[in-house]
Amino acid sequence: MIKSRNRRHKIAAAPAAVRLQTPAHVRWVFFAILLVAALILSWGMYEAGRNSGVPGRIEPLQEEKTETGPEIERLSQSNARLQRENDELRIKVAGLDQQLQMDQAARQDIASQVKTLQGENTRLKEDLAFFQNLGSVPGKTGQRVSIGGLKLEKGKLPGEYRYSLLLVQSGVRGKDFHGNLEFAVNFQQNGEKMVQSLTSNETSDDPSKKFDVSFRFYRRVESTFWLDPDAIVDSLQVKVFEKGETQVRLMQTVNLSL
């Protein structure tokens, strides 16, 4: 009896829980409303962004493509123009370089001609002075042959020497003078003084052959000879012989011009 009462008391004292059941169609309607609201909100944000100038995903590609095309074309045209200008400048530089070389060659040629003319002018002045002195000095008229302007100079190459002189027939010149010349160079080599005879032809087989001359008024004689580069030349001696005679008619010596 006691246990049965306690059990009824416990049953009576237990709390009661009440749960309300939401119908399924109400839940689906609520979800549909939320979905529609989210779609409307997304569409509104998209429209607002497009209207405000914010680029989308497709439009920037089209805009970049539209702007890049003319830029590439402009750069290509500029590159082609620069290449043409470079080619034209290269041609002009080549022409100017060729013209410069021609001008330098012409300048050197003119300088060489001027030097030659200066030498010729100096020689003519010396010849004129010699003729003037020859006609003004008493006692010269009886001498048939005279030597003037005798020079001995170094050449451009090592061991090369050049000499020149002027032969003049003074007094009564009824006929041509026929004779020959002998040249002897005095030099030092290996500490020893030496003398070497020169001929009119260095390749001649006859080393004693003389330089033949024939003239009526005057005759200029010029030639070149060679010695060892280590030889030190002191002077040059010239002797004048009349044809058929062994006696020296005239002799003159000149030192090397420094």
Please indicate, yes or no, if residue 121 is contained in any of the structural domains: yes
pTM (two decimals):
0.50
Q: Are residues 83 and 179 in the same domain?
A: no
Which residue range forms the structural domain that includes residue 102? 65-137
Whether residue 238 is found in the same domain as residue 148 = yes
pLDDT above 50 for 218: yes
Residues 84 and 188 in one domain: no
Residue 139 has pLDDT above 70, yes or no: no
Using alpha carbons only, give the angle 204, 209, 144 rounded to the nearest 5 degrees: 140
Domain-ending residue, one of 116, 137, 158: 137
161-201 pLDDT, tens per residue? 999 999 988 766 668 889 999 999 999 999 899 999 987 54
Residues 6+ apart with CB under 8 A from 249: 144, 145, 179, 240, 241, 242
240 and 227, same domain (yes or no)? yes
What does the mean pLDDT of the chain come to?
A: 78
Whether pLDDT at 204 is above 50: no
Report the alpha-carbon distance of residue 192 to residue 138 in Å, rounded. Answer: 42
Q: Which of 87, 116, 137 is the last residue of a domain?
A: 137
Is there a domain that residue 13 lies in? no
Domain assignment of residue 30, yes or no? no
